[in-house]
Structures are given as C-alpha cells and as structure tokens.
Amino acid sequence: MFVIVGLGNPGTKYENTLHNTGFGVIDLLSREHGIPVERKKCKALLGEGLIAGKRAVLCKPQTYMNLSGESVVQLLNWYKCALDELVLVYDDVDLPAGKLRFRAEGSAGTHNGMRNIVELLGKTAFPRFRVGIGRPPERMDLADYVLSKPDAENKTLINEAQLKAAKAIETYISQGVEATRVLVGK
C-alpha cells in the first residue's frame, strides 16, 4: 500500500497558496483516479483507491505545515507501509518556480514541514517530490511569501510542475525509483 502525502495547510484561508502546492498534487491525483479525499483519519483528510493498479491512500494532513509529522507518523502506524511506500510531495523555495525534483531519500532541507516529519520519524529513507515555487521577491518575508498565491507567470509554471509531479508519482508506484528518475531528470 502506498501512502501519498501532500503537504499544506488546512482551511480556505490557505487554498491555492504556494505552501499548499502539495495539496494541489493530491487534488490532481484524486480527480485522475476517482479517489475522493474527504475521510478524516490520522489527523488528515484521506481517500483510498487504486493508482497504477496498486492500493494507494491520498492524504492531506490537517495539522498545519509545521506539525505535518504528527499526521505522517499516525498514517504510517495505521497503514503499516514500508518507508519506500511513503511518498511526500511539497513546495520548495530553494527550487525555481516550476522545477520538479525527485529524491528516493535525503534530508529535510529548509522545509519546516519536512523537518518535523524527519524529526518525528527519525528516518530520511522515503521518497519525496519537491515542486519549486521560487524565492520571495526582495524585502518580502519568507512566511508571507509561502502563504501568498502565486503571480500569473509562476502559477502557470507551478501548475505544470504539479501535473508532472502527479505523473511522476504514478510512475514511481508502477515502475519504481529508476524510471521516476528518468522521467523527472535532474
């Protein structure tokens, strides 16, 4: 069973903000595979179904970004999936807007939600997809930036990267790490 977790913040106040890029990928997968994400469990909204012929759970933690690990730990305990079946997708200010990066394992980087997940799991050997949202404009606070909506140009780039991330997650589930690396590139 694959547990696919998109990171973001709950509530209408944060809908379509840069920090909810992970939620957007979950929404794409939900629509594509007919998996409604509306059941509450493990401090998340989730839905179960099939992706690439394999059982999958789509998850949107409802803990707010910086406490995402609370939900992820509960999800892993409930579904008892292996770490390589936990797939995270989230925004990254350290990548240009629209850039997608895949890693089968690694550090949390500068992302507070990922830091919390790594801290609570005590492990880093799980796949993750980072969708670039770019850096804030000069003199703009980072927190204000990630909680804002993208401008028109970045919105197009980020939307394209979210579509690519959804396809890459499908590839990871069906074909594994190497095929995903080929699809996503460097």
Q: What is the mean pLDDT of residues 104-117?
A: 89
Topology (CATH level 3) of domain 2-184: Rossmann fold (3.40.50)
pLDDT of residue 7: 97
Q: What is the pLDDT of residues 160-172, one digit of tens each?
A: 999 999 999 999 9
pLDDT of residue 185: 85
What number of CA atoms fall less than 13 Å from residue 145's CA on the CB side?
Answer: 16
Q: How far apart are CA 122 and CA 163, in angstroms?
A: 30
Q: What is the mean pLDDT of residues 123-134?
A: 96
Q: How confident is residue 127, by pLDDT bands cut at 50, 70 and 90?
A: very high
pLDDT of residue 186: 67
The region that residue 112 occupies, defined by phi over 0 for left and psi between -120 and 50 for alpha, beta otherwise, is: alpha
pLDDT of residue 156: 96
Q: Catalytic site residues? A: 19
Given a cut of 90, whether residue 108 has pLDDT beyond it is no
Given a cut of 90, whether residue 107 has pLDDT beyond it is no
Q: What is the mean pLDDT of residues 21-46?
A: 98
Global pTM value: 0.96
Q: How far apart are CA 180 and CA 173, in angstroms?
A: 9
Q: For the residues of 98-113, what is the DSSP string, one character each?
A: T-EEEESS---TT-HH
